[in-house]
A and B are shown apart, each in its own frame.
Chain A
């Protein structure tokens, strides 16, 4: 055993350059392999899990996916508005624990400004948004032009309580569309590692009254900025986030809104809607998975090529070792051991590469969606990916090990 270990150690040292290149290329492949699976799993969970804290979203008639992406993940454009009365009606339904209206239409340097109500911040975690609390400052007063900023948006924009902002019209930043209204920042939210970190919340009345905004809740245009009081019939909302007491309520609302109604759409359950989106993109996952396996296969073949190419150089040493009493199997196991060590080192480097890819992806994903990926989150792929890599390394070593095994000692020592 010690002899095998010594032979492996010497061989790795002697062929360190080619070994390093092989380990590096394998590490890149393994890192990619881990990333494809682990990032997909984390992203899947983030988008389809219950992280949003809400069971359903109600919005204008149209695509459920668009509704969820817009209201929960703040990614898509709004499919339109629904009258305030619908919000009030659904909020009164049995089994609806919480109904939070969202009014969208403005941004501040691409961070969405959303009008909502104070109930979003309900301290009772069973009712309010899970984990949503203020890190500094206080909640906005619904009667004032005040705002609360998500943690990521605040850090990126350098906002703190006491600062003021003037929102821009539309969901994409255009410097020529700034509103006149000035909002005072009263609080910064604690990080939730969710899309909420990327938004700015103001009282819903603020959105109604923003200059240039026109309300069409009653079917006719109503300019709220010039009115002291806004009749409910004119009000409209982009979406209503719903917390339901049971799936039965969800099913009933689904029947009522989607099947019998014609004005609104209920996206329920949120996780299932997003799951369907991911299922539609399943082919892409399959392609990526196939590519990841192929890359790993090619990288494993590089172990074979790397060792096999040096077999002729190794034959002299193999013959000497055999002449000194090394058994054929000692040589065979030494070669296999070397390949498995290279594969193990490749897997180790793969973790570093994965860490790098995940960090870069996490930065991009958080800035785009607010969804956070965790570097240290365990994924079974780390275990069986490592086992596969080492297994492939060993398989790749069989051919060169067999060549070494078959080395003709006498003819080698004669030459």
Chain B
């Protein structure tokens, strides 16, 4: 489903020098697969997520999604691609504060121009938030916020869900439950999952594991 080849991304550091952060020769994800990607802070996990999601443009290399080259899409097309095919769960969930749980989920659908009546509520109910649909993020517990974030990420029936350290704000017990939930929902919805974490407990829940420090030549060279 996702194929990456010779992907490179550099940034200009505060000293004004170009620094390569991502240099991946090859990486692929299968449809409906569940993969955990691990690595310490600074190894380029978030940058890779941003590259796949189209929030960042690579300097070189190719990314194919469902056999289509997404590397050179213009920004508007990348936005549309992200809205239609990807779901993202951020480390801090990043819920829209002025929107209720239901509105957070519906907004993702509105931005994809495919608002399906009842789907947002259905997703929230399936995540155990039936009595919280009209609550604002500030009125929800951390665990509930995360479930809203998962519902929002799945709202448009994406092909791939990217989860960037989704358990960083949770304690160990909740973290396991959260991963179980994300994993279960992805299986139910037939969505591939790429979960990024540095937490070994989380990683142990996945059979497919990718070591970013091994994949990322730029990090290898640096260390």
Contact = CB atoms under 8 A, between A and B. Distances in A.
Interface of A: 2-3, 6, 10-11, 13-14, 316-317, 319-330, 409-410, 413-414
Contact of A325 (B50, B84, B90, B99): B84
A327 B76 contact: yes
B30 to A, nearest CB: 24
A317 B82 CA distance: 17
B65 to A, nearest CB: 15
A253 to B, nearest CB: 75
A3 B113 contact: yes
A14 B83 contact: no
A10 B106 CA distance: 13
14 contacts: A2-B113, A6-B107, A10-B96, A10-B103, A11-B98, A14-B98, A320-B96, A321-B96, A322-B79, A323-B94, A324-B111, A326-B79, A326-B111, A410-B55
Interface in B96-142: 96-99, 103, 106-108, 110-113, 115
A325 B82 contact: yes
B112 A317 contact: no
A9 B99 CA distance: 11
A402 to B, nearest CB: 16
Nearest to A326: B111
B89 to A, nearest CB: 11
- For the complex of A and B, the 7 pairs showing the least CB-CB separation, nearest first, are A325-B83, A3-B110, A14-B98, A325-B111, A327-B79, A325-B82, A320-B94
Nearest to B50: A410
Contacts, number: 73
Indicate the member of A2, A319, A414 with the most B CB atoms within 10 Å.
Answer: A2
A11 B108 CA distance: 16
A325 B108 contact: yes
B53 A2 contact: no
Given A323-B53, A323-B82, A324-B152, A317 B97 contact: yes
B209 to A, nearest CB: 25
Contacts of B99: 10
Given A6-B107, A11-B98, 11 more contacts: A3-B111, A6-B106, A6-B110, A322-B55, A323-B82, A324-B88, A325-B84, A325-B111, A328-B75, A328-B76, A413-B90
A2 B80 contact: no
A410 B54 CA distance: 10
B181 interface: no
A409 B56 CA distance: 9
B46 A414 contact: yes
Contacts of A320: 94-96
Interface in B46-91: 46, 50, 53, 55-56, 75-76, 79-80, 82-84, 88, 90
Contacts of A327: 75-76, 79-80
Given A6-B107, A410-B55, A325 B80 contact: yes
A156 B190 CA distance: 83
Interface residues of B, number: 30
A2 B55 contact: no
Contacts of A10: 96, 98-99, 103
A322 B99 CA distance: 16
A34 to B, nearest CB: 34
A330 to B, nearest CB: 7
A2 B115 contact: yes
B204 to A, nearest CB: 27
Contacts of B90: 323, 413
A317 B76 CA distance: 19
A2 B82 CA distance: 18
Contacts of B84: 325
A153 to B, nearest CB: 59
Contacts of A2: 110, 113, 115
A338 to B, nearest CB: 13
B121 to A, nearest CB: 16
A334 to B, nearest CB: 11
B86 to A, nearest CB: 8
Chain B CB count within 10 A is highest, among A11, A317, A323, A409, for A323
B163 to A, nearest CB: 13
A325 B55 CA distance: 10
A375 B94 CA distance: 52
A321 B106 CA distance: 12
Contact of B55 (A321, A323, A329, A330): A323
A214 B113 CA distance: 90
B76 A325 contact: no
Nearest to A317: B96
A394 B18 CA distance: 41
Contacts of B103: 6, 10
Contacts of A413: 90, 94
A103 B97 CA distance: 77
A330 B79 CA distance: 11
A3 B53 contact: no
Question: Of residues A3, A409, A410, A414, which shows the largest number of chain B Cβ atoms within 10 Å of its Cβ?
Answer: A3
